[in-house]
Amino acid sequence: MSAELLTVREIAEALSVTPARVYQLVSTGEIPAMRYGLSKRGTIRIPADSFGEWVRSRTVPARAGRHRLPSRNSASRADTETLV
C-alpha cells in the first residue's frame, strides 16, 4: 500500500505560503519530507498523512468570546483606545 505524496507546491497552497517557505520548513526539518533522486537537489515529496499530523499538532482550538470588544458602557475611553 503506498501513501499519497504531496508536492511542495501543493503544501504551499494548503498553507497559503510560498514554495520557498515550504522549502525552508523542509530544510529545517519542521515539515517531514522525503527526497527522491541521487543529488541533494532531488525531488521533494511530503507524505500526506505526515503533513496532516504536522498541521494538527500546530492547530490551536478557538476560544469562544476571545475577540470580543467590551461594550462602550463598560470600558473607559483609555481602554477602548488601546483595544483599537
pLDDT of residue 59: 82
- Give the pLDDT confidence of 1-13 residue by residue, as tens digits: 457 999 999 999 9
Alpha helices in the chain (DSSP H): 8-15, 19-27, 48-57, 77-83
Strand partners, 4: none
Question: Domain boundaries in the chain?
Answer: 5-57
- Give the pLDDT confidence of 16-33 residue by residue, as tens digits: 999 999 999 999 999 999
To the question of pTM greater than 0.75 for the whole model, the response is: no
End-to-end CA distance of the chain: 54
- Give the pLDDT confidence of 47-83 residue by residue, as tens digits: 999 999 999 998 877 776 555 556 665 555 555 455 4
